[in-house]
Amino acid sequence: MSFNNNVHQGYRIMGSLSGGRPWSLVGMFVLLAAQMAQAQLEFRDTSFRSIQDTANTVDVDLITIPDRIILQTGTNTNLALNKEIVVRYANPDPLKVSTHPTASNPSLMIDGRVAANSFFELLPGQEQTLIRIDLQAVRAVNRVVIRTFPNNSINFRIRGYSIFTGLDTLSFRRVKQVVDNERANTDDFFEVDTARYVLIRVEKQDPSLTNPFSTTFGEIEVYGTGYLSEGHFTSVVRDAGQSVNWNRAAWGGDIPAGTAIRMQVRTGSTPNVNANWSPWSDEVTEPNSLFTVYEPRRYMQYRVNLYTFTIATPRLDEVKITFDTLLVASKATAAVEPQSAPILKEGEFQYRVTVEQNSRSTGVDTIIIFTDVPLVVNNVTVNELNIPFNVSLRAGQVVVGFGSTINFNATVVVGFRFTPFLEQTVFPSVAISRQNPTNPQRVDATVSNNQESWTLAAVGVPEKIIVDAHTDPNPFTPNGDGKNDQTYFNFFVSNLTEERPVQVKIYDVTGRLVKTLLDTKSTAQAYVEQNAIPWDGRDDNGRLLPPGLYLYQIIVEVDGLEPAVVTKTLSIAY
């Protein structure tokens, strides 16, 4: 096992035996031959300047505190850039509000540009108008710059104004007032104030009685003396010496209230990052947590994200990335077959996992398929032989356990049925060994025509929003005998890419509402199988309803259209 250049100033590779104490790199080489199969190793960094990827490290300070990382200060950084801005007109009369196609959008005042298509116009007669900027974090503010459009055009300047700061939108403190401004571009310094909001009140415009000039804002900039709201440290690519099963990310330091440190990791098979590397993992928000990357892989790079929502900065002292030289499988690749199917037509599918093993593999005992779609597993085979298995359904997971360890080259096929209701449905998965159940190994997918092999594409366009609505059983008998005590509402919501209100309501035959069974917001969704909505025959007050015929409505609100509604009947019998 070669570690190449892994031992550099400021970081080291450590290992530990199960239940044992840490041991040094020198001791590790002595033990490698006999103990490699049991070793869990780690990259541990306590100094960062020599291992930074300078091209991708931004807005952090590695100098002020030796061997530590804090946020950069914001003296020369525009804190208002691309944040949020609101204008409250003194005179809301539409005739007094600019309709200029490129000068009526307030966000153009904080987009970082002063141009003919990037400025804001305030028509004459709008004295006392308020311009409020939300910095989206508490900052130590001491400077505001206002730039006119056209640049340096004194005719369009703001003639008089006040600057206020505040921690909320209800109370502000005036920090600067300019009664009579002669400058086209203003640059005002004031005593440092802690604030999230900066408010500018326009107090004077062009006083000409005939053809007065508008007041134009090319850009409003806010500066301060405190720390930037976020910064990112990116490490150089690290070499584990061989393909490994990456484990957990941890960090230590000082994290005051209102600040945060989070981590991301990516992995690959080459020493240089390219398109075949994994994307950055989702942020790890708690130290010593798993992260999702391509596995097994030899090379790794991490990124530490520092955030503050106050005037304080977090401080990073240490980073640790652990990994296992033992693998669940030397290679595992998954594919769903077929990879396309008609939308909203129930079908049979296979989830095929090809497993390769070698001397460092411990074998597969469990496969977890991640999916939010409801499905039913019909069978499981290994090398075309039916084997004992068990299936458990968890939130967002289908867990398939095997009666014996798969420690040989094999093709595992999980047969299932479901109804595609999304344009694309993905089925990523991990493999788990009982020898190391706390470190799953991500199963790979191949890519063809920009589609991963575990992705199912649905073809066709649904004609309706609500599809295949029915209750089962119908009638049902909620008498407590354990048979048909509940009915289940099954339906699909299609053609929704944004969340919209979805309701299920039940009425008696007089039209009186007796039960609101569902009141939520949803995109396209399948309320079937384990996602079907149960009803026990009770009304909104918990009383068991009498036997008889009832009406139910499924209602989906749709923008700009009448709601989609399906009305059907069901019966309660005893």
60-88 tens-digit pLDDT? 999 999 999 999 987 888 999 999 999 99
pLDDT for the residue 574: 84
Q: Which helix (H) or strand (E) holds 421?
A: none
**Domain range annotation of the chain:** 11-70+235-324, 84-224, 331-459, 466-572
- 264-278 burial string, b = 16+ CB within 10 Å, else e? bbbbbeeeebeeebb
Task: 434-438: list long-range contacts, CB under 8 Å, 24+ apart.
Answer: 434/365, 434/366, 434/405, 435/326, 435/362, 435/363, 436/245, 436/324, 436/326, 436/328, 436/362, 437/365, 437/366
Of 2.60.40.4070, 3.40.50.620, 3.30.530.20, 2.10.10.90, the CATH number of 466-572 is: 2.60.40.4070
CA separation for the pair 166, 163 (Å, rounded): 10
pLDDT for the residue 151: 87
CA separation for the pair 385, 411 (Å, rounded): 10
Question: Under a CB-based contact definition with an 8 Å cutoff, are residues 232 and 90 in contact?
Answer: no
**H helix runs in 17-75, sequence order:** 25-35
pLDDT for the residue 356: 97
* CATH architecture for residues 331-459: Sandwich (2.60)
pLDDT for the residue 560: 67
Q: Which residues contact 194 (CB under 8 A, 6 or more apart)?
A: 138, 139, 140, 141, 167, 311
84-224, what's its fold? Answer: Jelly Rolls (2.60.120)
84-224 matches 11-70+235-324 in CATH topology: yes
pLDDT for the residue 15: 42
CA separation for the pair 417, 113 (Å, rounded): 54
pLDDT for the residue 103: 84
pTM over 0.75: no
Alpha carbons within 13 angstroms on the beta-carbon side of residue 497 total 2
For residues 532, 534, 429 and 449, what is the CA-based torsion angle, rounded to 10 degrees? 20
Question: Under a CB-based contact definition with an 8 Å cutoff, are residues 164 and 174 in contact?
Answer: yes
Average pLDDT along the chain, 574 residues, taken 10 residues at a time: 35 39 35 48 96 95 96 90 96 92 91 94 97 93 96 94 96 97 96 96 94 96 92 98 97 97 98 95 97 97 96 96 97 96 92 96 97 92 91 92 94 95 92 96 91 91 86 95 95 89 95 96 91 96 95 89 89 92
Question: What phi and psi, each to the nearest 5 degrees, are found at residue 35?
Answer: -115, 5
CA separation for the pair 262, 68 (Å, rounded): 15
The C-alpha angle with vertex 457 and arms to 453 and 459, in degrees rounded to 5, equals 155
CATH 2.60.120 fits 11-70+235-324, yes or no: yes
Residue 214: CB atoms within 10 A of its CB come to 18
* 131 beta partners: 87, 200
